[in-house]
Amino acid sequence: MFGIFKQLLDLIYKKRCYFCKKSYENTKMCSKCYGRIKFLPFSVMKNIDGVPVYCASIYKNEIQKLIRGVKYHNQKELAYYQAKIMFDYWQNIAVSSGDFVVVPVPLHKSRQKQRGYNHMVLVAKEFAKLCGYEVLEAVIERVKETKPQYRLTQIEREQNLKDAFKFNREVCELISDKNILILDDILTTGATLSEIIKTFKQGGIDREKLFAFTTSCSEHNIV
């Protein structure tokens, strides 16, 4: 009798793993599912306009489900695991010992209102906590409502993103001596990062101070 009662309580109060649906660890991502994450090599994955881009994993399986959960299905608790994966990867990168501020890729105000939150801000906050960095959201703002990128060609993506971001100079004075780590969830063609990098450079930030890091990349980036 007690067994059934306990099972019932567990069902109500215990967290189930979002991935395998089991509840034995009382976490949203159990160690088994976490252990299935495959890291990419601990090196620069791509250079975008002279800025190194690091990428923790490939956008598939658990990573894909995780990112989609945080981004579209209101699974805010999963932001910690997305950040943890990035942290576990980032610790293996030599530059991680530097002094960074973390800048999550911003959403346009209307998109953020619609979604209720910017998933990358949640991830950036957890990631910064783990690394001992600071988050600086306000340094860059999305001022243009862009179309979703996934159906667009490379040229259309660039057009879509042109002048999409605004650099806030006053905020930037606070970080003059620090490196900037731009954080995003998925690297596909790199058009978004490229536009942000351009915006930072136009704002007078040296290329040497810019770094980008994404949770994942689409498979075509892996040669």
Contact residues for Zn ion (CB under 5 A)?
17, 19-20, 30, 33
Which residue, 30 or 175, has its beta carbon nearer to Zn ion?
Answer: 30
Q: Between residues 33 and 55, which has the closer beta carbon with respect to Zn ion?
A: 33
Comparison of 24 and 39: residue with beta carbon closer to Zn ion: 24
Rounded to whole angstroms, the Cα distance separating 80 from 85 reads 9
In whole angstroms, how close is the CB of 19 to Zn ion at the nearest point? 4
Nearer to Zn ion, 30 or 67 (CB): 30
36 or 109, CB closer to Zn ion?
36
What residues form DSSP beta bridges with 57?
216
Tell the smallest beta-carbon distance from residue 5 to Zn ion (Å). 25
CB of 37 to Zn ion, least distance (A): 11
How far apart are the C-alpha atoms of 9 and 186, rounded to whole Å?
Answer: 38
Q: What distance in Å separates the CA atoms of residue 120 and residue 82, rounded to the nearest whole number?
A: 10
42 half-sphere exposure, CB direction, 13 A CA radius? 12
Q: What are the residue ranges of helices labelled H in 48-118?
A: 61-72, 79-90, 109-115
Among 58, 75, 72, 89, which Cα is nearest to 19's? 75
- Enumerate residues 6+ apart whose C-beta is below 8 A from 134: 101, 102, 128
Rounded to a whole number of angstroms, the minimum distance from the CB of residue 23 to Zn ion is 9
CB of 178 to Zn ion, least distance (A): 37
